[in-house]
Structure 1
Amino acid sequence: MILVTGATGLVGSHLLLHLLQQEESNVRAIYRNPLSIDKTKHVFELHNALALFERIQWQQADILDVPALEEAFKEITHVYHCAAMVSFDPKEEKILRKTNIEGTANIVNLCIAYPVVKLCHVSSIAALGESLHPSTPITEKTDWNPELYHSDYALSKFGGEMEVWRGTQEGLDVIIVNPGVIFGRGFYREGSSELLYKVHQGFPFYTAGTTAVVSVEDVVFCMRQLMQSEHKNERYILVSANLENRELLHFIATMLNKKPASFEIGRFGLALAWRLDAFISLLTRKKRSFTRAIAKASLSRFNYDASKIEQILSFQFTSYKDFLVEISKSFK
């Protein structure tokens, strides 16, 4: 039986759909809040697959609740660990690390205890090393430099990977995938879709950085193929394209019939923006919407090389133009 954590998120919900479309018969999915299951159901509705949705075996659990996880792990042979917290708010550093590191450690420990045949861990390009020059591609072997600045989110995902690699030392077979910014249908005010919402609202600014993008369908396809293969104890970058931020925003604006962003905001403007956001958050006690980490990421210019997965699976990523066209139609 297959277990999927984070089953009510973008990757988890699309993974469930893909597994059931590929006639996987025994799939168990973890949820925390019963209301969140509606998000996954909506994804199945978009694909006219409600009959498949009814075949999911749902079980309430939290990756930080070991007793509940033990119940969920009964009879499980393969685990897709999609659950994670994404936040760039400094106030959420503790819960971010607890979820992404301790929660992953719990999953790894139970995989070893039961034992599970194979684990697929969804990490992030944020957990990869950084090249010192923009022209040097980042690969799966690029070294992590602890001396460089890393966001709390990046540190938490890197820490989560360390727990997974620990599992390999104890005999667990694993696959790690490092996707870029994942785009998909069904989550219209969350994650990457927030970018579409901002463009739709007429957000006028862009930065000189780049963004690595990939479709959620490509991510889940690669995950299942790797889990079914003999490959193990390896990580794989999943990126369709490395785009200039201006190019990405302009394309989305065109698809949404909106005016494209026309004002470049530089390092000084970004520094003012995240400090102003911190001040407003302090006064209103609202969650931060623009932080130093986001400002730094918006100026980063990294080139992620996904040729390893393309060669291993003889696979070609979907063009960003193709998947963003479909997502934009659904968004409208």
Structure 2
Amino acid sequence: MILVTGGTGLVGSHLLYHLSLENDVIRAVYRSESSLESVKKVFSFYTSNTSLFNKIEWFKADITDVTTMIPAFIKVKKVYHCAAFISFDPKDYREMRKVNIHGTAIIVNLCVDAKVDKLCFVSSIAAVGDSLKNNIITEEDEWNKELDNSGYSITKFGAEMEVWRASQEGVDVVIVNPGVIFGSGFWNSGSGKLFTQVYNGFKFFTEGITGFVSVQDVVKPMILLMNSNVKNERFILISENKSFKEIFFLIADAFGKNRPSIKIKPWQTAIFWRIASLLSFITRKEPLLSKYSAKSAHSISKYSSEKIKKTLNFEFEGIDKSIKRTAINYSKF
């Protein structure tokens, strides 16, 4: 049996669809009935066949509550740990530690106790260090705790340390480190917000560079790695390194909308995130821009996915194709 945590999120829901095409028994953890509707919507982008969704055994539990998670591991042999708390708001740091580090520690302990064959963990390029040798970041670059890292980066790195502990306690593991993930179904969170903003006439852009990848090019390597003999390795999953300007333009073109036309400079975002932080403190609402999201909007980080390409002979689709597909599905939203 396969167990999937975070099955109602972007990666987890698309992963469940691809797993449902196989003959394995699938169990997925969820927290509320309403979140299942998002998964059904994702499945509908692929097929009208509801039998695939109905193959999944949904298990209500909380990954930070060990007592609810213990029964989820009965008869489980493979685990895909996709659950995570993603935020760049400093106020969320404690909750991120609870979910990303403590929750992963619970998953690891239960994998060990249940003698699970293999564990796949969805990490992030946020947990990969800056390049020391050249301007291309690889799996060999080490995360530096002395830098001014975001809370999300800290907690994903901490989660990876828990997963590596599993590898020392008899469980084979693989870790994937995706870049910014594009995929359909979640338009008010993560990268989905970019599509919503551009569709609604967002006029601003920055020229920071990072790695982007489609959700299909995240889940497919995950399944291939879990079905292979590869173990105790981590892999960066990047289709292309592009600037936010290029990405915004591609999204606008896919929608047939006007491209953003106002370039935002670093000093401008530096002022704005401070104002946003003050307003957030007063209103108790999530800031429109945080210190770390402002920083990432201008930073230049380029990543290599050569390791996964060579290991699996895997080829990524162009990010423009992913954006066009996502834009089409957005029109169905």
Q: Which residue of 2 aligns with 1:10?
A: 10
Please name the residue that 1:72 is paired with: 72
Aligned twin of 2:120: 120
List gaps (5 residues or longer) in structure 2: none
AA at the equivalent of 1:155 = I
> What's the secondary structure of 2:143's corresponding residue?
coil
| Aligned-partner residue type, residue 54 of structure 1 | N
2:198 aligns to what? 199
Matched, 1:56 2:56: yes
Query: What CA distance in whole angstroms lies between the structure 1 residues aligned with 2:200 and 2:330?
Result: 13
Task: Using the aligned pairs only, state the percent identity.
Answer: 48
Residues 142-177 of structure 1: per-residue CA shift (max 9 Å, x gap): 011222111000000000000011111112110000
Alignment of 1:168-207 (within 5 A): 168-207=167-206
Question: What one-letter code is carried by the residue in structure 1 that aligns with 2:158?
Answer: G
Alignment partner of 1:311 is 2:304 = no
- Counterpart CA distance in 1 for 2:43 and 2:50 is 6
CA distance in 2, matches of 1:256, 1:35: 29
Report how many residues are paired.
330
Where does residue 272 of structure 1 map in the other structure?
Answer: 271
Give, as a single letter, the amino acid of the residue that structure 2 aligns with 1:110.
L
Post-superposition Cα deviations, 1:278-322, rounded to whole Å, max 9, x if no partner, equal: 111122111122100101111110110000000111110011111
2-structure distance, mates of 1:247, 1:84: 28
Looking at structure 2, the residues matched to 282 and 122 of structure 1 have their Cα atoms a distance apart, in angstroms, of 32
Matched to 2:147, the amino acid is: L
Q: Which residue of 1 aligns with 2:83?
A: 83
Whether 1:224 aligns to 2:227 is no
Where does structure 1 differ by over 2 angstroms across 4 or more consecutive aligned residues? none
3-state SS of the aligned residue for 1:157? Answer: helix
1:34 Cα deviation from its structure 2 partner: 1.1
The CA deviation at 1:25 is 2.9
Residue deviations 1:213-256, cap 9 Å, x none?
A: 11111111000000010000000000000001111111111111
Q: Which residue of the partner structure matches residue 95 of structure 1?
A: 95
* 1:29 aligned residue: 28
Counterpart of 1:233 in structure 2 is 232
Mapped partners of 2:266, 2:288: distance in 1 = 17
Q: Which amino acid aligns with 1:143?
A: E
List aligned pairs for 1:146-185, cutoff 5 A.
146-185=145-184
Residue equivalent to 1:110: 110
For 1:142, the equivalent position in structure 2 comes to: 141
In 2: Cα distance, 1:211 partner to 1:196 partner = 17
Question: Aligned partners of 2:108 and 2:256: how far apart in 1?
Answer: 46
TM-score by length of 1: 0.97
Q: Deviation at 1:132?
A: 5.3
State the 1:267 CA deviation. Answer: 1.4
Amino acid at match of 1:322: K
Instruction: Provide the rounded CA distance (Å) in 1 between the counterparts of 2:307 and 2:118.
Output: 20
Partner residue, 1:262: 261
Amino acid at match of 2:75: E
Can you give the 5+ residue segments of structure 1 that lack an aligned partner in the other structure? Answer: none
Aligned to 1:325: 324
The answer to whether the 8 A contact 2:176-2:236 is kept is yes
Give CA-to-partner distance per residue, 1:108-149, whole Å, 9 cap, x none: 00000011000000000000001258x521000101122211
Q: Does 1:299 align with 2:301?
A: no
